[in-house]
Amino acid sequence: RIGATTSCHDWRGFSRSPLFLEQVLNADQSCQQAVTANLVAQVMRGKKPCSANNGSYCAARKRLPTSFLGRLGRELGNRILNRQPEAWRWRGRHVKLVDGTTVSMSDTVANQKAFPQNRKQQPGLGFPLAMLVGVISLSCGAILDWAIGPCEGKQTGETALLRNLAAHFQRADLLIADRCYSGYFMVAQMAMLGVDVLVRQNARRRTDFSGAQRLGKGDHIVTWRRPARPDWMSPETYQTVPATLTMREIECGTLTLATTLLDPGSAHARELLALYHGRWNIELDLRSIKDVMQMGVLRCKSPEMVRKEIAVHFIAYNLVCALMTQAAQLNDIMPRALRFKLTLQTLRVYQPGNSPRSDQQAANEAVLILQAIARAPLPKRPGRTEPRVKKRRPKPTKLMTQPRSVLRAQCLKQNQFTQPSA
C-alpha cells in the first residue's frame, strides 16, 4: 500500500500505511504513540484492540529488511519523476540537485562506532553524526537516491558519497551543485556518464576572463587539465580519467559558474544563472526533511535501525511530494509553488470515514483535498533576504561539559550531605 498513492483513486492507501511510516509522519514520533494510535484505530473500526505494549512493534521493525526500505523509497521517488509532465523538465531534461547534510542520533556504543562524533568533542559529550548526500529533482522535489556514511575518517565526505551514487544518473541528465562538487574528478566522472554539470566555481581555481575563447562579457570557454592523482584513486582508474575537460565559465555578479553546457545559443548565461539559483531548493527540501519531519535527530539506537529510520523518512517525504505533484497537475501549477508543511499537515489530519464508500466517492474526496492544498500556494518573494539569526532566546540551561556519569556521581555525593538522616 505504500506505493499505491500514485493516483487519486489510491489516496486512501495513506491511511492504511504501516505503523513505521505512520510513526515518522506523526508529529509525535515515539513508538508508543504509533502503537496507541493503532489501538485507537482498531477500536474505532469495531475490532478488538491490540496491546498497548510497544515491544512487539519494536521487534517487528527490526525484522524489516533495510535494502527493501531503501529500494522502496528510491523507486517511489523515480516513479514520481518519470510520471511528471514533459513541460516540467528543462529543455526535455531531468534536472537533479545534489547536496549533503548531517543528522545526529542516540548516543549509544554501537552508533558511536559506526558514526563517530566530532573529533573536537570530548568522549561522552557529543552525539554520533551521519553524513547524508541526496539527489533531489528540481521540478517535483522528490528524493531520487541517497548515500549514508560517517562524518569522520577517509573517504567520508560529500564528494566520496556522491561517487557511490554515480550509477543513478542517466545520460542527458543535468546535475546542479555547489562549489563542494566542482572538483575536476567529479566533473569528469559525470562527463564520462554523459551527464552535464552546472556548479559554482571552486574558490581555489583561478578564473581569468582576459584570454581563452570568449563568448561574451564574463563568459568564455577554457580547458581544465587533469591534476595529480589523489591518494584515494588507483593508478588504473586515474588513467581512465580524461586528461583535459572543456568547460564554460560564467561570471554573474558575485558568482562564478562552471558548466559543461558549452553552447551559448542553447543555454544563455542569464538562463544558467536562474537555473543555478534553483539549487537553493535542495536546501529547503533538506530543511523540510530534518526540521518539519523531525529527521534531524534520529531515535534509533543501532546503526542498522538508523538506516531504516532514514529510509522510512525518505519514503514518507516522497509520499508528501506525490501529493504535491498530484495537486499541481490537477490545478495546472508547479509543485514548487505549493507548501510542503501544509501538505504534510493535511496528510496528518486526514482520516477516512468508517462507513463504507464507493471508489467514486473516495476519488471525489481526494480531488477536493488536493484542490484545497493547491489553493494556498507559496507567496512569490523574489530576492528575499533574511538574516540567519533567532530573536527568541533559549532557556539559560548550562551545557554539559563533563560525561553524564561524572555529573551523576557529583549529584549523588551532593545529595548525601543535603538530605536529612533517618
- pLDDT tens for 298-309 read 999 999 999 999
Helix and strand numbers (H, E) in the chain are: 14, 9
User: In this structure, what is the dihedral angle of CA atoms 39, 45, 47, 50, given to the nearest 10 degrees?
Assistant: -10
DSSP-derived secondary structure letter, 90: B
Cα dihedral 409, 400, 150, 79 sign: positive
| DSSP H helical ranges for 118-251 | 158-164, 184-192, 235-240
Secondary structure element (H or E) that encloses residue 344, with its range: helix 340-349
Rounded CA-CA distance 341/366 in Å is 18
Tell me the β-bridge partners of 206.
none
Burial zone of 221 (CB within 10 Å; 0-12 exposed, 13-18 middle, 19+ buried) = middle
- Condensed to tens digits (0 to 9), the pLDDT of residues 370-386 reads 999 998 888 887 777 88
- Give this prediction's pTM: 0.89
Rounded CA-CA distance 59/73 in Å is 22
Mean pLDDT of the chain: 88
Burial zone of 248 (CB within 10 Å; 0-12 exposed, 13-18 middle, 19+ buried) = buried
- Condensed to tens digits (0 to 9), the pLDDT of residues 204-236 reads 888 877 766 888 888 899 999 999 999 999 999
Phi, psi (degrees; rounded to nearest 5) at 299: -100, -25
Contact predicate 139/160, CB 8 Å: no
- Condensed to tens digits (0 to 9), the pLDDT of residues 159-199 reads 999 999 988 899 999 999 999 999 999 999 999 999 999 99
Angle between helix 31-44 and helix 55-63 axes, rounded to 10 deg:
110
Rounded CA-CA distance 94/175 in Å is 9
- Condensed to tens digits (0 to 9), the pLDDT of residues 311-340 reads 999 999 999 999 999 999 999 999 999 999
3-state helix, strand, coil in the chain (%, to 5): 45, 15, 40
Tell me the β-bridge partners of 196.
174
Contact predicate 199/184, CB 8 Å: no
